[in-house]
Amino acid sequence: MKTKLKSAILGLSSALALPIAFADVPINVTQRQVLSAQLNSVNPSVSSAKANVRIIIDGNRAGIFIQGAGLSPQTVHMQHIHLGTACPTSTADKNSDGVVDALEASTVAGPSVVPLSLNPVRSIVEGIIAPGTPPPAPSVPTTPTTPREEPPTRDLGNISTHSAYPIAAQNGSLNYIASIPLNALQRALSQHSSSEETPVTLEKKVIIIHGVASNIQLPNTVKGFPGVSATESLPVICGQIVKSSE
């Protein structure tokens, strides 16, 4: 199973990679690394979803695999790696409305820095982190590039090709696989970090998956990302990235 998982994740390197150049950044990966995260409910009164995350860093790429269950069916689920090292709990509910909303969660988990979208490399390049989060100013002027032909759409299971983020299946499951170049990952992490950690690592960062069905009744005080509904923005599950064995 682990061999198949490794092949599935790292085998997407050519399928999902975009021919985008990144400035050199210090990355010292001398051996294969395996990380994992167990995502549990942020708002148990609203959702009891769970997810397992496995990250394999091998060579110059990071393969990311997410397997979720109990999510709102046929619903878009934004998902991001955050710069903070703690998941929000009920203590983050500052307005005491019984729900930890997206803005309250960010005060604990920190800013979202790596979008786990259908095309994370493009999202990083274009500064698409989370709705309402302005991208950092580029450190150097960008050079216009010649328009290129888009790669053909590929079947990624129950991941919708009509949305920037995956959509849960009818049974509430979500399966996500992506392969991200380490220099792109490092760029996303370092641009938003004030830490002296060089390079900035994934270990101890947190992952949050958002989104519940639009018919879920939430208090009027629950805030969403700017331009995004409270239900789409609601943090559902969160977990910390830790070192793992094979």
Give the tens place of pLDDT for each residue, 187-224: 888 876 665 555 668 999 999 999 999 999 999 999 99
Tens of pLDDT, residue by residue over 43-53, are 999 999 999 99
Instruction: Say if residue 7's pLDDT is above 60.
Output: no
pLDDT digits (tens, 9 = 90+) for 162-185: 358 999 999 999 999 999 998 888
Q: How far is CA 105 from CA 20, 42, 92, 221, 241, in A?
A: 32, 9, 6, 14, 17
50 strand-pairing partners: 69
**Res 188: pLDDT:** 85
Q: Answer yes or no: is pLDDT of 143 > 60.
A: no
Q: Could you give the C-alpha distances from 102 to 129, 139, 183, 189, in angstroms and in order?
A: 14, 29, 28, 20
Confidence band for 246, pLDDT divided at 50, 70 and 90: confident
| Strand residue runs (E) in the chain | 33-41, 50-58, 61-69, 79-82, 112-115, 174-181, 206-210, 235-240, 242-243
Evaluate if residue 234 carries a pLDDT over 90.
yes
With cut-offs at 50, 70 and 90, classify the pLDDT of residue 146. Answer: very low
246 compared with 188, residue with greater pLDDT: 188
pTM: 0.76
pLDDT, position 127: 65
Sign of CA dihedral 36, 19, 115, 233: negative
Higher pLDDT, 17 or 66: 66
Domain ranges of the chain: 33-136+165-243
Which of 168, 199, 8 lies closest to 77 in space, CA to CA? 168
Per-residue pLDDT tens for 75-130?
A: 999 999 999 999 999 999 999 999 999 999 999 999 988 999 998 888 877 765 55
Both tokens assigned to 39: 């995502």
Q: Per the CATH hierarchy, to which homologous superfamily does domain 33-136+165-243 belong?
A: Superoxide dismutase, copper/zinc binding domain (2.60.40.200)
- Per-residue burial over 68-100, b = 16 or more CB atoms within 10 Å of its CB, e = otherwise: bbbbbeebbbbbbbbbbeebbeeebbeeeeebb
Q: What is the DSSP string of 82-115?
A: ESSSS---GGG-TT-SS---HHHHHHHH--EEEE
pLDDT tops 90 at residue 133: no
What are the tokens at 122? 């493009």
Q: Which residues contact 108 (CB under 8 A, 6 or more apart)?
A: 84, 86, 87, 88, 89, 92
Instruction: Answer whether residue 63 shows pLDDT above 50.
Output: yes
How does the average pLDDT of the chain come out, rounded? Answer: 78
Residue 149's SS3 state is coil
DSSP state letters, 108-125: HH--EEEE-SSSHHHHHH
